[in-house]
Amino acid sequence: MKKEWSEEELEEIASQLCNPVGEAGIKTGEFMNLSNANMISRGFELPAINKKDRILEIGPGNGFHVSELVNLTDGIEYCGVDISETMISEAEKINQIWVEKGVVSFTKSDGNILPFSDNYFDKILTVNTIYFWQNPAAYGTEILRVLKPGGVFSLVFSDKNFMQQLPFTKYKFSLYNKDLAHELLRNSGFEVLETVEELETIQNNSGENIKRPIIIILAKK
């Protein structure tokens, strides 16, 4: 039988997806790790991570995928920034060996300012965070600021038409299609290089298999 969610439950789901907190946040991080695995993989694959790249991921969740990235590519430096203290703590635990080696770091962010100097990163990735940007135009400009000239930003999200069918996205979410995302990126100063649209199968919060359209936009400084 399909579960009927109360409005309070739907609002809590949205809140935890936006900013995972406490024990429920840990479980949300585990769910996101499974749900977003393909999107993360594709988001890293398409811009072609190179040796010695300095990489920023905005919203890494519990960072379960980071070890695979570090093992696959020699000499990279990875930093994840997240607004969730719970996710930062979980990611540091899961990636303790890499954190201790100085290869990986996780940093708390307020969601508006990226605490890095100008022209710092070769590649920047974010998966399913664009819905929660507090000031999208300003944040796009902030991402551009910390990206090196010629660096690539990989923006990964699910299309507005699909997302608006999910009952919890009425809370806290701002939804995008590729045209809206292109406009945001160009207004922030990016050059859009490539847009890839794919369809994947995932499990939703009720455990049902559904088809999800994903959009991957590569943009250059």
CA distance 73 to 44: 11
* DSSP labels, 88-133: HHHHHHHTHHHHHHTSEEEEE--SS---S-TT-EEEEEEES-GGG-
**Is beta strand 77-82 parallel, antiparallel or unpaired with respect to 209-220?**
unpaired
Give tens-digit pLDDT for 149-204.
Answer: 999 999 999 999 999 998 899 999 999 999 999 999 999 999 999 999 999 988 76
Contacts of 72 (CB under 8 A, 6+ apart): 49
CA distance 37 to 22: 22
Helices then strands, counting H and E runs in the chain, come out as 9, 7
Collapsing DSSP to helix, strand or coil, 172 comes out as: coil
pLDDT tops 90 at residue 205: no
Instruction: Provide the pLDDT for residue 3.
Output: 64
CA distance 169 to 196: 23
Give tens-digit pLDDT for 110-153.
Answer: 999 999 999 999 999 999 999 999 999 999 999 999 999 999 99
Give tens-digit pLDDT for 14-51.
Answer: 999 999 999 998 999 898 888 899 999 999 999 989 88
Domains and CATH numbers, the chain: 7-220 (3.40.50.150)
